[in-house]
A and B are shown apart, each in its own frame.
Chain A
Amino acid sequence: MSTTDSSTATPITQGKRRIGDVVFANTARGSGVLILLILAGVAAFLLIQSFDSLSANTANFLTTEEWDANTRENPAFGVAALAFGTVLAAAIALLIATPVAIGIALFIVYYAPRRLAAVLGYIVDLLAAIPSVVYGLWGIGYLVFQLQDFYVLLERYLGWIPLFAGPISTTGRTMLSAGIVLAVMILPIITAMSRDVFRQVPQGHREAALALGSTRWEMIRMAVLPFGRPGVIGGAMLGLGRALGETMAVAMILSPSLVISPFLLQSGNQTIAAHIALQYPEATGYGVSALIAAGLVLFAITLVVNMGARFVVARRKEFS
């Protein structure tokens, strides 16, 4: 014990705080604060830059459908049609994706053999990693042609429902196509979230149901779905948030027009995000500022949806 006398030589009193600790802790805190500043900056810059065009706008920004902003003289533009299109596309995607995602999640957790389930888990994650521009390319370069036959049938037999009324677009570049591609894109998000909550269902609950003599489906209905519902809802809302903000797939597939139209099989409608991407390169006059204003609306919509999703998910955590 005599080789080092550090224990007696170093006094345990050391007046100053360690420099390393101070620097490190402050760097960490600084990074966190920087994130807050960035986010504040996003909101502030968008507000400031949109103010210009909004104050010059001669039409009501929230109720006007047309977009006449690329001018210095009396611009008149609004987001009514865009907001409608955004919500419509996302709603279609959500309606298609949610049931399928629940099915896949159940399959992965309760039906598939274990090894297949692991592979499927990877595949779902992989689907989520494919860039949206590739989905868009696939949609416009392949899927719309395949869907055309289906649309013909849909119009022939279900055309009496206004949604599917003709005359159908001959290019397939419709709201329904955009919605279907968006559905494929958000499928992995909802699946991953549902899969995680289904996995967390306590074994006790499941075995209790099985011990009552229930079939697998009854077990799922009694034990799994009630437990997982908030998680599934949260996942669906995150997917909705993604679908609302998705730009490229819609910009590439949809043949746009700035009117509010409920006809899914005809060309028409447009979403905020796609509109910004398409218009930005040609924007002049108040154009850019007006697009920033539209972006602000999109930001607000997704913010509300995402916060709703977090709230639902967080509440579930409290109960489990």
Chain B
Amino acid sequence: MAKRIDVSGLHVYYGDFLAVEDVSMTIEPRSVTAFIGSSGCGKSTFLRTLNRMHEVTPGARVEGKVMLDDMDIYGPDVDPVQVRREIGMVFQKANPFPTMSIYDNVIAGAKLNNQRMSKAQADDLVERSLRGANLWEEVKDRLNKPGAGLSGGQQQRLCIARATAVEPTVLLMDEPCSALDPISTLAIEDLIHKLKENYTIVIVTHNMQQAARVSDQTAFFNLAGTGKPGKLIEMDETNKIFTKPEKQETENYITGRFG
């Protein structure tokens, strides 16, 4: 079910501005890959190219190849809408749809696409997704209340349930915990551990402890210099990156001696 992502020679541009330069990496299925690096180094930008979400920003474009198993997602006939059903995304700020109830938020992917679904199927999908997101027990009595009424951490788990209800093979998470308190963060991290059994997970984080706690692989991004594009500096087993990285830059960053 979970699929492998192979990136080779990827450049990301905003108009004429080169934002991320020449990234190649392999993301293993059924594992968690963390992207770390300082603000503005392009890790979120790069993440968004993995399901073509960057195309929402006017002027953004890429060069290079992103293979999902044996399919190039930038191939000539590929529909970005289909790509996003295959590769789901969770955002920094929890963004449940304010006009929908918790129930409707979970099945939003199907509902918004006008898919027909029997009531039983929908109930089943909602329960399965919410259980999968460790949220079922907390909200099962108020499924018809608006999703915006939940706490920040619950909202974020609701968004994860919403993303998994589409049944993607890969889940991208863009700093999913940066707006949450430590307890809610822990709940999300537990959830990531659980989700890893079924999905390929990529997570961008500013928090190095978090990267160390949840990920199997870690990729370190940095700017090639002031005003220069962001680059992938090093990628390896999380253990290795945090104990004996190959590059001096990486060591400086993770030990806090930056620059």
Contact = CB atoms under 8 A, between A and B. Distances in A.
Q: Verify whether A and B have any Cβ pair under 8 Å.
A: yes
Interface of A: 1, 3-4, 6-7, 10-15, 18
A196 to B, nearest CB: 26
Contacts of A14: 77-79, 82
A11 B167 contact: no
Contacts of B153: none
A12 B168 contact: no
B165 to A, nearest CB: 10
B162 to A, nearest CB: 16
A18 B169 CA distance: 23
8 contacts: A1-B167, A4-B167, A7-B167, A7-B168, A12-B79, A12-B83, A13-B75, A13-B79
Nearest to B164: A1
Interface string B71-89: 1010101110111011000
By Cβ-Cβ distance, the 5 closest A-B pairs, closest first, are A14-B79, A12-B82, A13-B77, A15-B77, A13-B78
B49 to A, nearest CB: 15
Contacts of A15: 77
Interface in B94-117: none
Contacts of B83: 12
Contacts of A13: 71, 75, 77-79, 82
Nearest to A15: B77
Contacts of A1: 1, 167, 198
Given A1-B1, A18-B81, A12 B86 contact: yes
A14 B83 CA distance: 10
Given A7-B168, A12-B83, 17 more contacts: A1-B167, A1-B198, A4-B167, A6-B167, A7-B169, A10-B82, A10-B85, A11-B82, A12-B68, A12-B73, A12-B85, A12-B86, A13-B78, A13-B82, A14-B77, A14-B78, A15-B77
Contacts of B68: 12
A12 B71 contact: yes
Interface of B: 1, 68, 71, 73, 75, 77-79, 81-83, 85-86, 124, 167-169, 198
A221 to B, nearest CB: 41
B83 to A, nearest CB: 5
Contacts of A18: 79, 81
A3 B86 CA distance: 16
Contacts of A12: 68, 71, 73, 78-79, 82-83, 85-86
A88 B120 CA distance: 73
A259 B252 CA distance: 86
A230 B77 CA distance: 52
Nearest to A4: B167
A97 to B, nearest CB: 40
A78 B167 CA distance: 74
A13 B168 CA distance: 16
Nearest to A7: B167
Contacts of B198: 1
A10 B85 CA distance: 10
Contacts of B167: 1, 4, 6-7
Contacts of A3: 124
A13 B86 CA distance: 12
A141 to B, nearest CB: 48
Nearest to B81: A18
B155 to A, nearest CB: 25
Contacts of B85: 6-7, 10, 12
A12 B83 CA distance: 6
B170 to A, nearest CB: 10
Contacts of B79: 12-14, 18
A15 B81 CA distance: 12
Nearest to B73: A12
Contacts of B81: 18
A2 to B, nearest CB: 9
A4 B122 CA distance: 12
Nearest to A21: B81
A113 B178 CA distance: 40
B183 to A, nearest CB: 29
Nearest to B168: A7
A211 B73 CA distance: 59
Nearest to B117: A4
